Amino acid sequence: MLTRVQTAGLHGVEAIPVTVEVGLTSGLPTFTVVGLPQSAVREGRERVLSALRHIGVALPPRRITVNLAPADRRKEGTGFDLPLAVALLVAAAEVSPESVRGVGFVGELGLDGALRRVRGVLARAAGCRAGGARTVVVPRGNVAEAQAVPGLEVRTAGDLHELRRCLQGTCPWPTLPAPTEADAPSVPDLADVRGQVVARRALEVAAAGGHNLLLVGPPGVGKTLLARRLPGLLPELGPGEAVEVTRIHSAAGLLPDGAGLVSARPFRAPHHSVSDAGLVGGGQPIRPGEATLAHRGVLFLDELPEFRRSSLELLRQPIEEGRIHLVRARGAMEFPARFTLVAAMNPCPCGDRGHPSRSCGCDPSQVRRYRGRLSGPLLDRIDLQVPVTGVSAAQLASRTSGEGSASVRSRVRAARERQWQRFAGRGLGCNAEMGPGELRALVPVPRGVARLLQHAQDRLGLSPRAYHRILKVARTLADLAGDPDVLETHAAEAIHFRELDRPAT
């Protein structure tokens, strides 16, 4: 006798349709799982057998072989418990094969048969839909994210006993729980920042065009304070972006129990001791890193020169392409990583260079070595390099607040809308995502602007990549001003934001 039940396996942050095949044949009673199961999947047979015994189901004393097809893809996680148990219920004639046809099952089982939530259900539910399922059964804590998959009916049950009765038709399916309203993360307001006119302007430009930002200044002048206010300036997540972010956070196990789609843009701030795998993904099994968890949000790297150089160099590809390609001995995997990079660093080893009241004891060679921890190709990819200076006691004591995040966000949203209109049908979201082809087609360069950029390239030794990124920033400045064309003032301000392209003196 052969039984088939649909499910899906997690592959990075995506899912692949999987068919659980159970065969009962004559021979000594054994229970074998094949199809490249990882240890948690193999251990699932003990949970499944205990759950079946708990609800009074006795399997026939036969040789049981379970195949997870396709058999050439590794299967990991505890989400295969439920489809395996359902397949055994069908094999034991406890439920009919027709009751599970076109139904996908995902979930972990307790020893008493309780259904427990698993990670990656949004992707797994989409995988079941891709495999032909019209309905999916998931634990109660995963219902809200599964409901985000269009064209898929979602059902749930409290335990295996209740699920068996529902499949038998002897009791109705339970009412689906309402999504849990997750507490919105508190985003600090830009009004808290005193002074810092240039840095505040850079934050607005970074938000409006999706540009990467580097804040350079002595310790304690407000670099971290500024960086943590960037998410409050960004537009709200669109429906498609919310699904992308939720899929990633679900696969990483970061969604709260019962939560639906993520509504806030991510803000990730890993410590400088983070490993290469922790930053861009990897490990065994391969998991997404901080760069992927910051997808459609902000990745903040404080004390940038203290990060491993190897880790920073791994960010060059996602900054350019918005994706991370990992190739390992056991296979290749791709993670989305379209984030805005915000970094902070001291201007010199002692940190006092440019401080209004403390003198710096570093000579130019020490400054060059310190800045040399950051490679030229990485700095080329950071559009805005801004000095952050100290704030006077009078400014700190002032009760007059600066402009708040709400008013800045309104200008950012208007600038983004101009970009969306310009990019209609091109699949781009902001100016920072333009390639050289889009720049030539969408951003005409007047003669005066071309002369100014040529002069800057000759004087600062800019690479073609830096040249293009300056032009993207200039286009964003024009969008913020509502100007249809890039003007010389926009180009001059964009060049001014390239602080580290100037030689240290």
Helix (H) or strand (E) holding 164: helix 160-168
**Best CA proximity match to 3, nearest among 81, 123, 85:** 85
pLDDT category at 505 given cuts 50, 70, 90 is very low
Q: How far apart are CA 465 and CA 439, in angstroms?
A: 12
Q: How far apart are CA 105 and CA 471, in angstroms?
A: 51
For 119-147, the three-class secondary structure string (H helix, E strand, C coil) is CCHHHHHHHHHHCCCCEEECCHHHHHHHC
pLDDT category at 138 given cuts 50, 70, 90 is very high
Q: If DSSP codes are grouped into helix, strand and coil, which group holds residue 345?
A: strand
Residue 503 has pLDDT above 70, yes or no: no
Instruction: Write the CA distances from 1 to 87, 208, 378, 464, integer angstroms.
Output: 11, 61, 60, 66
What CATH number has the domain spanning 2-168? Answer: 3.30.230.10
Two tokens at 96? 């009919």
Tell me the pTM. 0.92
Q: How far apart are CA 122 and CA 261, in angstroms?
A: 9
Two tokens at 288? 């997404």
Q: How far apart are CA 322 and CA 164, in angstroms?
A: 45
Average of per-residue pLDDT across 293-308: 96
Q: How far apart are CA 164 and CA 90, in angstroms?
A: 10
The fold of the 190-391+401-412 domain, in CATH, is Rossmann fold (3.40.50)
Per-residue confidence (pLDDT) for residue 318, from 0 to 100: 94
Query: Tokens 């998959």 belong to which residue?
Result: 149
**Best CA proximity match to 14, nearest among 157, 97, 126:** 126
pLDDT digits (tens, 9 = 90+) for 187-228: 899 998 888 889 999 999 999 999 999 999 988 888 999 999
Two tokens at 360? 């710096």
396 bridge partner residues: none
Per-residue confidence (pLDDT) for residue 199, from 0 to 100: 94
Query: Tokens 């094949």 belong to which residue?
Result: 34
Omega cis (within 30) before 70: yes
pLDDT category at 357 given cuts 50, 70, 90 is confident
Average of per-residue pLDDT across 55-73: 93
Domain ranges of the chain: 2-168, 190-391+401-412
Per-residue confidence (pLDDT) for residue 155, from 0 to 100: 97
Proportion of the chain above pLDDT 70, given as a percent: 98
Two tokens at 336? 């989305």
Instruction: Write the CA distances from 369 to 344, 362, 405, 504, integer angstroms.
Output: 17, 11, 37, 10
pLDDT digits (tens, 9 = 90+) for 236-260: 999 999 999 999 999 999 998 888 8
Average of per-residue pLDDT across 100-125: 97
Residue 501 has pLDDT above 70, yes or no: no
- Count other Cβ atoms within 10 Å, centred on residue 185: 11
C-alpha R_g of the chain: 27
Q: What is the mean pLDDT of the chain?
A: 92
Q: How far apart are CA 389 and CA 217, in angstroms?
A: 6
Residue 183 has pLDDT above 70, yes or no: no
Strands (E), 26-159: 30-34, 63-69, 103-105, 108-109, 115-116, 135-137, 153-155
Helix (H) or strand (E) holding 243: helix 239-251
Per-residue confidence (pLDDT) for residue 498, from 0 to 100: 86
